[in-house]
Amino acid sequence: MKILIINGPNLNILGKREKEYYGTENFNDYFTRLQFKLKDVELSHVQSNSEGDIITSIQEASTNFHAIVLNAAGYTHTSIAIADAVKAISIPVIEVHISNVYAREEFRHKSYIAPYAKGVITGFGLKSYELAILSFLELDKND
Ligand code: DQA
């Protein structure tokens, strides 16, 4: 199974940023560990601070990948255009967040993307990404 992880704005500075919410590990180190652990999954990762780049990644992924794990970060709470891109493609998307957005400010409780996602995983630290991938593997089983 080929899965693309798409990370949005400010997730390139994980490990340095608001450690109480996001921890101390940077995403590239976590990604290396994840790929090592989940050897049966072909993982790719892109990060962008720009809304348009994220939309292009979502559009292009639909022809090259089986599923997307999307952390649109701050754009989750603002972007109708990213939500439209998720709605437009046929491969499933799981929305993830590192922090528990429901335990934070009220503006983080709204997601424009969630209605078009297969599901949402929020609040498990970087493990949220692994849980999303394991969910796709579980859903892929014929049981
Ligand atoms: C985040 C939560 C968002 O509210 C925030 O803007 C982020 C990261 C998370 O992974 O917890 O940048 O998506």
Instruction: Say whether the ipTM exceeds 0.95.
Output: yes
Higher pLDDT: 25 or 61? It is 61
33-88, pLDDT tens digit by residue?
999 999 999 999 999 999 999 999 999 999 999 999 999 999 999 999 999 999 99
User: Annotated catalytic sites, by residue?
Assistant: 22, 97
- As for how many domains the chain has, the answer is 1
* pLDDT of amino acid 17: 82
pTM: 0.97
- For residue 17, say whether it is annotated as part of any ligand binding site: no
Cβ-contact 94, 33 below 8 angstroms: no
**Measured CA distances, 6 to 10, 38, 104 (Å):** 12, 18, 22
| Ligand-binding site membership of 53 (annotated) | no
* Contact 98 CB / ligand 1 (< 6 Å): yes
Name the phi and psi angles at 15, rounded to 5: 100, -30
Question: What is the 8-class DSSP label of residue 74?
Answer: G
CB of 71 closer than 6 A to ligand 1? yes
Domain that holds residue 29: 2-142
Task: Provide the CATH number for the domain around residue 83.
Answer: 3.40.50.9100
Q: Could you tell me if the CB of 128 is within 6 A of ligand 1?
A: no
